Amino acid sequence: MSNNDLNAINEIKTLSLDMIKEAKSGSPGNCLSLAPIIYTLYAKHMNINPDNQEWINRDRLVLSCGHAAPILYATLHMCGFKITKENLKEYKSISGFTPAYPELSTNGIDISIGTPGMGISNAVGIALGERYLENTLKQEDEKQSLINFNTYVICNDADLMKGVSYEATSFASAQKLDKLIILCDRTNIISDGKVDNTFTENLIERFQSLDFFVKEVKDASKIKEIDKAINAAKKSNKPSIIIFNTILGKDSINENTNIVYDKPLSDDDIFAIKKKLNITTAPFEVRKDSLIHVRKLIDKRVEAQYKKNMEYLNKAKSSGNDKLINILRLLINKDLTIPFESLSYKINDTYNENLLLTNHKILNLVANKSAFFLGGCADAASNTKAYIDNTTILTKEHPLGRNINFGLREEAMAGIINGISLLGLKTYCSTKLINLDNLKPSIRMSAIMNLDVTYIFTHDSINSSLDSAHLTPVEHISNLRSIPNLINFRPSDITEILGVWEYIAKNKKTTSIILSDCQVSKLRETNSKLVSKGAYIVKKEQDKLDGIIIATGKELGDALKIAYELKQENIDIRVISMVSLELFLKEEKNYQEEIIPKNVKTIVIEPSSILGWGIFVTDKKYIIGLDDFSFSGQKDEVINKVNFDYESLKIKVAKLILNN
Contact 377, 427 (CB under 8 A): no
Q: Catalytic site residue 410?
A: yes
Contact 236, 176 (CB under 8 A): no
* Catalytic position from the list 11, 22, 90, 410: 410
Nearest to 419 by CA among 233, 39, 164: 164
Q: Could you give the residue ranges of the DSSP H alpha helices within 422-554?
A: 436-449, 476-481, 494-506
User: Is-contact 128 179, C-beta < 8 A?
Assistant: no
Distance CA 544, CA 557 (A): 22
* CA-angle at 578, arms to 377 and 562, nearest 5°: 110
d(CA 155, CA 233): 16
- H helices of 54-93, where? 69-79, 85-89
Partner residues linked to 550 by β-bridges: 576, 604
Cα–Cα distance between 138 and 132 in angstroms, integer? 10
Q: How far apart are CA 415 and CA 378, in angstroms?
A: 12
In the DSSP assignment, the letter for residue 281 is S
Q: Facing residues of 155 across strands?
A: 184
Contacts of 153 (CB under 8 A, 6+ apart): 61, 62, 63, 64, 119, 120, 122, 123, 180, 181, 182, 183
Contact (Cβ atoms closer than 8 angstroms) between residue 443 and residue 414 = yes
Please, where are the H alpha helices in 221-264?
Answer: 223-235
Which residues are catalytic, by number? 410
